[in-house]
Amino acid sequence: MLLFWRKGYAAASMNDLCEAMGVRSPSLYAAFESKEALYLAAFEHYVATEGPPVWDRLGEGATAREGIANLLTAAAEILPKSRTAPAGCMAVLGAISDEWPASIARAVRKVRLEMLSNLRARIEAAVASGELPDATDTDALSRLYLSVYEGMAIQAKDGAITAELRTVAQAAMAAWPGR
């Protein structure tokens, strides 16, 4: 997972993958059948382990505004490079490339659409509860906050630090519609 996250699908050679996993190529093929299948397994692991610390924060907070602020704050903390993980978001960083086989492109797109759907659901609930006006364009607002998250992931990949990403999150929350 870390190798694919760091290098991308195309740049991660079979030799790189075998070395990272400590196996020989026949063992890798016996276990995963193909580089494509290995990537899908690695991506599934990424979504299950790296996504929740950020995306579960969306559900935290008494209001949708608090939930989205929590999500962006967690992103500011987690997206920058760490000692153990590459910077950015594997699902976002791959979106700016067309290097993938169709099955991988579908799987990654599905995750990004789920991110959008989760934001939209929280914002629609805010409209239903009266937190946001009935006239709120929930699709546009959902896409705005997903775009902010995606931009933060790209900026983290380019070296932005937590403090810089926190200011992005704060600016984004200043765009929250008022009554």
The answer to which of 93-102, 109-118, 160-169 has the lowest mean pLDDT is 93-102
Cα pseudo-dihedral 68, 49, 99, 72, rounded to 10: 20
Closest CA to 40 of 4, 86, 89: 4
Percent of the chain with pLDDT over 70: 98
Mean pLDDT of the chain: 91
CB 33 within 8 A of CB 110: no
The Cα-based distances of 11 to 7, 8, 16, 43, 171 in angstroms read 6, 6, 9, 16, 35
- How far apart, in whole angstroms, are the C-alpha atoms of residue 103 and residue 40? 8
- Do 177 and 133 meet the contact criterion of CB atoms below 8 Å apart? yes
Mapping DSSP onto H, E and C, the string for 11-49 reads CCCHHHHHHHHCCCHHHHHHHHCCHHHHHHHHHHHHHHH
Domain 35-174: CATH architecture, name and number where available: Orthogonal Bundle (1.10)
What does the pLDDT read at residue 172?
A: 97
- Rounded Cα distance between 168 and 159, Å, is 14
Structure tokens that stand for 148 in this block: 């902010």
pLDDT above 60 (res 23): yes
- Encode pLDDT of 33-86 as tens digits: 888 889 999 999 999 999 999 999 999 999 999 999 999 999 999 999 877 789
Residue 127 Cα distances to 65, 145, 149, 170, 178, angstroms: 11, 16, 22, 22, 12
